[in-house]
A and B are shown apart, each in its own frame.
Chain A
Amino acid sequence: MTWHRSPLTARVSLIVTLFMVTVSAFASERVLSRLADTQERHVQPLADAYVDGLVLALVDSIIREDIWQAFDVIDRSREKSGEIRPTETIVAGPDDFVIASSHPLEIPSHVLHNSGNRCRSG
């Protein structure tokens, strides 16, 4: 009832405003989505390069099951990782037992790592 009693100019203005808000929201969502895609496209190769470098540095430690050297590599890589800031790194052997992790108090060496990831950086 209120809608029919309101002047036409007000109704048009409201319709236009709602339309503009809808269009803006849609456009913003698209822009943000594309921005996220672009960022992911840039960050993913960086993260891949980081993990590849880490794996290369860890190969010897994994073969020898050298707890200290594995820990030393991931601990130093956290200090010097620049744009990439790994929150948790776990190095496990082929048997899925942890060789070393970035948080040894929470994930100590020689426990079974259930995720199955051999080298995960999250």
Chain B
Amino acid sequence: MRKVISRRRLLGAAGSLAASFGVLRTRAQSADAPLRFALTPVLLTSDLVMLEELKAYLAHAMGRPVHLVSRRTYQEITALLVTRQVDAAWICGYPFVAYREELALVAVPVWRGQPLYQSYLVARASQKAESLSDLAGTVHAFSDPDSNSGYLVTCAALAEMGQSPARFFRHFFYTYGHRNVVRAVATGLAAGGSVDGYVYDVLREAEPALCAETRIVRKSELLAFPPIACPAADAQSPAIVQLRQALINMPHDPRGRAVLAMLRLDGFRDERPELFDGIANKMQLVRGVAP
């Protein structure tokens, strides 16, 4: 964990330094500048049609062009956001709490009536495992080292047992995508995996054959859904206010409803940062355990 913490501090320092020298100026302050909106694999980024529809809806609702930015890892997206190279991003709750001082909430998705979701610990269907303890000494697939559901929740459960991934699992690796975690477990590359419960449930509908090779061993408590965030310094900028309104108004617009249907979400909501305290507690718990 020491490496992760130092990386975060480095990113934060880089952002502050750049801002203090006035090197990075948010382009979204001008009325017609494109909004640079970044996406992590918190959602099913493989759905190109959905991405195009989301982009088209936001551009229509905000009255300005929208440029979607996509990267392989959460770390890359977080770095772009903290250093203000993008105006807003759909990130995970873990980087949001890790950079709480540098970031602000724009909106939080609502799924099944709540701005909450769960992390699932999944195993191969034939794997004899009833709890996390039964997966000791096996190969484990994590989604991303900066993912709440795909890493932090399992690490926190291990920390409660005085364990860490390096000591508990025989090996572990990152797939950089929740769908990839399911693929890794289904094919037998890993005995178990940590995955976003929302993505897993959507996959169960969309790709039942893939999920049939896996089963849920453990569901976490409800935690804050991956939010849309922006740099704290831009929280009240016209572009971010427009973005927040566009997201919150999605259920009232036919194009917005179409996007929500593709995402299997009810809508977006204005929420307080305290919603993410549960994730912050897990982060503190993990930081207190030796790697």
Contact = CB atoms under 8 A, between A and B. Distances in A.
Contacts of B188: 104-105, 108
A66 B142 CA distance: 13
Interface stretch (B109-117, B174-182, B274-282): B174-182
B187 A66 contact: no
Given A67-B189, A68-B141, A104-B189, A109 B171 contact: yes
Given A71-B184, A72-B180, A109-B139, A66 B189 contact: no
Contacts of B189: 67-68, 71, 100, 104, 109
Size bin of chain A's contact surface = 10 to 19
Task: Name the residue among B170, B184, B189 with the largest chain A CB count within 10 angstroms.
Answer: B189
B187 A104 contact: yes
A67 B172 CA distance: 9
B173 interface: yes
B174 A68 contact: yes
Name B's interface SS. mixed
B145 to A, nearest CB: 13
A68 B175 CA distance: 6
B122 to A, nearest CB: 15
A63 to B, nearest CB: 15
B171 A68 contact: no
Contacts of B174: 68
A104 B141 CA distance: 13
Contacts of B139: 108-110
A96 interface: no
Interface of A: 66-68, 71-72, 75, 100, 104-105, 108-110
7 contacts: A67-B173, A71-B187, A104-B187, A105-B188, A108-B139, A109-B189, A110-B171
